[in-house]
Amino acid sequence: MARPPPIRAYDAANAMTPSLIDRWSRGWRGPLLAALIALAAALPGLALPVTDRGEARLAEASAQMIETRDLTATAVDDQASDRRPAGLHWLQAAAVFLTSNVETRRIGAYRLPALAGAMIAAAACAWGGAALFGAGAGLLAGVMLGAGLMLSTAGALDAPAVLLCAGVTLAVAALGRLYLATEGGPECGRTTRVLLWLGVALAALAGGPIGPVAVILTGACLWLADRKAAWLRSLGWGWGLILMAALVGPSIVAGAIHAADGSAPVWPVLGGGRRTPGFHLLLSPLLLFPFTLLVPPALMLAWQGRREPAIKLALCWLIPTWVVVEFSRGQPLAGGLIVYGALAWLAAAAVTRGPGLLTLRLGAALQIVAGAVWIALTLYLGTHLGGPSAVAWCVAAAVLLAAAALGPSALIQMGRPWQAVAVATVVGLLAHGALAAGAGPRLQALWVSQRAAAALAEEGLDPRSGVTPGPVAVVGFGEPSLTFVLGGLTEAATVEDAVDAVGEGRPVIVEGRQEQALLDALKGAGRRVRKTGQVEGFDYANNSPVRLVIYAARPR
């Protein structure tokens, strides 16, 4: 069978894009608008307290890096490295230096790199999609990626995953433009090649080798699919590799210096923990909400148009990278973000070309199921982990989630996919804002470390006040969020260490299961203490209830 001629998908898509959307999305306006929507989606997450464990360890290591002025130190409390490239800490340190004070430990400043990463990812998705499927489809893809529940949440809480997503999306978007230029698409210049290598470097800085591997696999799959790769020679390999080495090399050197201090080099490690194949696939309908309804149309278009250059590129990104994510060790939920740009491209192309009736019905059903799961989870969190104010916010969020599930489903059944996407975007942003900025901070059972620090301050036992000596001895509770909120003035202690801390006049925080052992040891040593407070909650990092009890030496 003769090979079909290259299809200039971007021209066809522009013809089917509504004129208003088309005007808004031409040139730089599409990526800019997508970035602003991603900013609006992620901003509510800045209201949340610091979370365990990844975010708290990353932020505390960055804070200690600033305090010690040692750009190679990525350990927390002299423990093992937090397994992140040093470049991530440098980005956080720069954000704190420019916008805040390390002594205040305001977590919002440490989240600015993640916020910027979300904006870059959405803009890059729109920029690449505009060349592949048209300006309107590119804007739609950027909006779906930026306003999706996963990126909008990780855009405040998970800097490594979001910056990895931004780097991979930017690199593949530039790669796609260079590839499409050989298939009749728009011409590309040096700027596109520079953005390709900047994206690869950003992905390497944020997540180690998994980002460059995703880009390499995309190019290799295109090579295998076309049986030719002449366009790969024009990527600027010489100066591009030099640029990447200049940007990534210092992070590798810093990791090597840190390894020389006795810890294993962790930058080249792809991941840790167990492999969970199928985990991301199973949860993807929930994490893609409120755009879950477009998954069946996207998959159908991918099958029907798999020979088209633009769709072929999206599939060469989606399939091998998804396999890598599924079989890599210890990939978190947000690790799947590096493939969501490909899904957004396919979904946007399906909207512009007119999805079929069957896929619309399947998408509507999937959207309603995903919305029901999120509503149930939201109400559960409000009733079990918060007080009346949290319940009120969760009810408001549940109403918005219901609207985000039912409204777009009804519109897409009526043959109005553009209106469905618009409603899903607006209502989804409101629902996420109600959850992140409204209900989240009021789920008091989750914020045990913050409440324990507040209880210390109320009794005048916070070492940062300069009255009580530090550090605080912590027995049986190892979450790094407590170290962060107390300004690094904590010490992981045994029962014997806590007895010595009381003798030195330092406060002690003990987890409830070791409280009796501590009291027996204090009695045996003749130490007199007073119980100054108690905090109960839920340790979501360990998935178990927790009770922290605060003791201080009894004044003579």
CA-to-CA distance for 201 and 239, rounded, in angstroms? Answer: 13
Give residue 8's pLDDT. Answer: 37
Nearest of 102, 94, 118 to residue 46 by alpha carbon: 118
Q: What percent of the chain has pLDDT over 70?
A: 89
The CA distances from residue 404 to 152, 260, 310, 381, 425, in Å, are 15, 52, 30, 19, 8
Buried b (16+ CB within 10 A) or exposed e, 455-484: bbeeeebbbbeeebebbbbbbbbbbbbbbb
CA-to-CA distance for 438 and 429, rounded, in angstroms? Answer: 13
Six-digit token string for 509: 């925080």
One DSSP character per residue, 30-45 reads: HHHHHHHHHHHHHGGG
Helix (H, G, I), strand (E, B) or coil at 553: strand
Per-residue pLDDT tens over the stretch 254-306: 766 655 444 444 444 444 556 677 788 888 899 999 999 999 999 999 999 88
CA-to-CA distance for 164 and 338, rounded, in angstroms? Answer: 7
Report CA Rg, the chain: 25
Give residue 255's pLDDT. Answer: 66
Six-digit token string for 389: 């104010």
Residue 82 has pLDDT above 70, yes or no: no
Residue 378 has pLDDT above 90, yes or no: yes
Per-residue pLDDT tens over the stretch 132-188: 998 889 999 999 999 999 999 999 899 999 999 999 999 999 999 999 888 776 778
For residues 352-360, average pLDDT: 85
CA-to-CA distance for 98 and 86, rounded, in angstroms? Answer: 18
Per-residue pLDDT tens over the stretch 86-125: 888 889 989 998 888 777 889 999 999 999 999 999 999 9
Beta strand pairing status for 490-492 and 529-539? unpaired
Buried b (16+ CB within 10 A) or exposed e, 142-166: bbbbbbbbbbbbbbbbbbbbbbbbb
More confident residue, 69 or 483: 483
Give residue 83's pLDDT. Answer: 56
More confident residue, 329 or 367: 367
Q: Are 513 and 494 in contact (CB under 8 A)?
A: no
Per-residue pLDDT tens over the stretch 313-355: 999 999 999 998 888 776 677 778 999 999 999 999 999 888 8
SS3 of 371-429: HHHHHHHHHHHHHHHCCHHHHHHHHHHHHHHHHHHHHHHHHHHCCCHHHHHHHHHHHHH
For residues 211-236, average pLDDT: 88
Give residue 148's pLDDT. Answer: 93
Give residue 77's pLDDT. Answer: 55
**What's the pTM?**
0.90
Residue 431 has pLDDT above 80, yes or no: yes
Helix axes 159-181 and 112-133, enclosed angle (nearest 10): 20
Six-digit token string for 476: 């049986």
Instruction: Scan for tokens 């501590």, then name that residue.
Output: 518
For residues 358-381, average pLDDT: 94
CA-to-CA distance for 177 and 136, rounded, in angstroms? Answer: 16
More confident residue, 14 or 21: 21
Per-residue pLDDT tens over the stretch 446-461: 999 999 999 999 998 9
